[in-house]
Each structure stands twice: as structure tokens, then as C-alpha cells.
Amino acid sequence: MTMFHPDDADDADGAASLVPRTGRWQLPSERSAAAHARRTIHAALQRWGLGPAADTLTSQLASLIQDLSTRSAVRVPALIDLRLELRAADRLLLGEVQASTPDRPGPADQTSAGKGGRGIIALTYGRRLARNGTATWYTHAFTWWQPNTITTDR
């Protein structure tokens, strides 16, 4: 299990760890998407005070983006919109990855080949029709084992 301390958050009294932190980015839908996503996600999670847990979550989130960018780049080169929200008070990391493609969401492919990176980090996940394409959303839960300590389930 990877641990991080909310004491590493933006303000000294720890109140910032109770406020949801949100980031939005546009990433290229090409081979460099995963590397770009990895740098962007890691910087945000470090800034939000996740410490060592940022490494684990960055790897897991980057694989989801790699899967989506590979599929969308084959169809239509487009930007990928990434949104992350850390809700420490609710013990959740929420995210949404959207590729601007004309595809409508259909039934999820439940074969092992069709799961891609989604099941790696997701407590729950799904797809929905978004304004400019299809969005994949997911949640990741955190568990507190000791006061002032947050652990990821991986």
C-alpha cells in the first residue's frame, strides 16, 4: 500500500485537504499522449499532497489515457480532455477522460482485451455521451488506516 500525508497539502492547517481539488487539461491524442499525461498527472497529484502515492496513481491513470488515446488516434486525431478531482474528505479520486470523436457510447466490452486500462484503478467506471464525443469516467477510493494518513488500495 502506498501512503501519503494530508499534512503535505497546500496550507499548514490541513484545511486544504478537505476542499476538492480539480484540474483540467487537454492532451494530444498521439503516441506522446501517455508521456505527456504522466508528467501532467504526477505534477498535479504531487501539488495536491499525495506524496509517494502520486507515483502509483500516475502509472495507473496514464495506462487508461494510453488506452483511450490509442483507440481515438486510430479513428480521428483529436485532443483528449482530462479532468481529475481529488475529494480527500470523501476518500475519492474522480476522473474523466474524453476524446473528441463522433462515436456514441455503446455496451462496454467485458472481454479481457476490451477492458484496457479501465479496471486497474477504478472502483466504478463507465462511458457517456459528451458534447464533443465519448467520455470515460472512473472513481478510485482511498482508505485511512491511521489519523492523518491516507493510503491507496494499491
- The whole-number pLDDT of residue 43 equals 93
CA distance 100 to 103: 9
CB 142 within 8 Å of CB 150: yes
Model confidence, pTM: 0.61
* pLDDT number for residue 141: 62
pLDDT < 70 stretches in the chain = 1-17, 68-78, 99-125, 140-154
- Kindly report the CATH class assigned to 3-152: alpha beta
Question: What whole-number distance in Å separates Cα of residue 145 and Cα of residue 78?
Answer: 42
- Look at the block and give the residue holding cell 482508505: 143
